[in-house]
Amino acid sequence: MTAYDSPFRSQTNWSQMGFKTKRDAEGNVVKQEARLVAKGYVQRQGVDFEDAFALVARIETIQLLLALAAMKAQPDGFVVKGKEHMVYRLHKALYGLRQAPRAWNTRLDRELKELGFLNYPHEQAVYQFNNSKFILLVGVYVDDLIVTSSSEEQSATFKEKMKQLFEMSDLGHLTYYLGIEVRQTKTGIELKQAGYAKKILQSAGMLDCNSTKTPIEPKFSLSKDADGVPVNATDYRRLIRCLRYLIYTRPDLAYSVGVVSRYMNTPKESHLKAVKQILRYVKGTLQLGLIYQRGGDGKLSRYSDSSHNMDRDDGKGTTRTMFYFSNNPISWPSQKQHTVALSFCEAEFMAATAAACQTVWLKNLLKDLTGWESSSVRLYVDNNQQSP
């Protein structure tokens, strides 16, 4: 950073020092950071910024320049006697600004494309470099990157190029990513969130609770329970958000968490009781996760099922689907249907239709990234006419 004279100083405290300790799944310290963090919560839309972060790559750096030009105040603790009129000029966006992630995404998008990477409309967060000898894929999650390639040499070359463009840390083989523990073996890749699940139980005060064998009882259903005793809505929503993130490696939780998510507006004791049932199940299944086996037939398949008239408030059913690629699970949504089905048969058709739309997207994504071609996708639809 370099200092320069400012024609004026704003009275607003725009930034402060932020300290962060990065830890792995076991709680060990990986890296300690000290960075300048902007107080983005004082920004006003239409005055300090226009657009927030969007994954779709668009070059709108003017918004960033205007926002940086408006920041004329010195950071807390950096006032030098006799140089009160001086401020720090930043060569990159401050942490904490609402438009900072967008500025990073714009820069990253530009640099990757200059390196020869392609970006496809079916998934804006994945970039591909492909030629006749190898394929290299980069997955982007804000400022974290996952790199996979058919050539170890090309992966190493790419990382060296990125280090020249950005201040980046190479963490080696993927072992921990966004709260997901990754273990790579000769037979496949294992994913789980045991550490994250423990944190959920600890925050809920249920780390020492008794476990249960099922996340939800058979034929159990919830309602709005208008006459029930209210509970703290903020705590309830926090638990739901945590459980929904846990679903990324736990398909067995998709349906039960989806049910309790419907009552986040005015949760009652009956709803919280159902959440605690899920947490007790999590306590007994901390080590469960996913295993992606190597090899496979390279085929995409899908299973769908639906309930009928199970919601006690509006009579809507629930669509549940499971997608596999090379016999490995890749998607497992469980969602309440948008309309009321008049029969079991209609509910199943609604589930199959929703799953077919997801299938089309997955086919196009696989084709974009790997050139995958398939004449058809096998769809399995439950035709059992009995209520679950």
pTM score, two decimals? 0.71
What is the rounded distance in angstroms from the CA atom of residue 245 to the CA atom of residue 250?
9
Any residues with CB less than 8 A from the CB of 203 and at least 6 apart, and which? 238, 239, 242
Mean pLDDT of 354-360: 84
**Distances in Å between the alpha carbon of 186 and those of 171, 183, 189?**
20, 10, 8
Question: Which letter, b or e, does each residue of 118-138 get, where b requires 16 or more Cβ atoms within 10 Å of its Cβ?
Answer: ebeeebeebbbbbeeeebbbb
- Residue 93: is its pLDDT beyond 80? no
Q: What is the pLDDT of residues 11-27, one digit of tens each?
A: 334 455 566 776 665 66
Tell me the domain boundaries of the chain: 1-111, 115-172, 192-284, 295-381
Q: What is the pLDDT of residues 25-84, one digit of tens each?
A: 566 776 777 777 777 777 777 777 666 654 433 222 222 222 222 333 545 555 677 776
Q: What is the pLDDT of residues 173-206, one digit of tens each?
A: 778 877 888 888 888 888 899 999 999 999 999 9
